[in-house]
Amino acid sequence: MSKKPPKEGSKAWEKSFARAAGARLRSAREAAGLTRPDLAELVSTDISQICRWEQGHVLPRLHWVARIAKALRVDPDRLIPEP
Structural contact between residues 81 and 15, judged by C-beta atoms closer than 8 angstroms: no
- pLDDT level of residue 28 (50, 70, 90 thresholds): very high
Q: pTM of the predicted model, to two decimals?
A: 0.87
CATH 3.20.20.70 for domain 11-79: no
pLDDT digits (tens, 9 = 90+) for 37-82: 999 999 999 999 999 999 999 999 999 999 999 999 999 999 999 8
Integer angstrom CA distances of residue 66 from 2, 10, 44? 37, 26, 13
Q: What are the residue ranges spanned by the domains of the chain?
A: 11-79
Which stretches does DSSP call E strand in 18-71? none
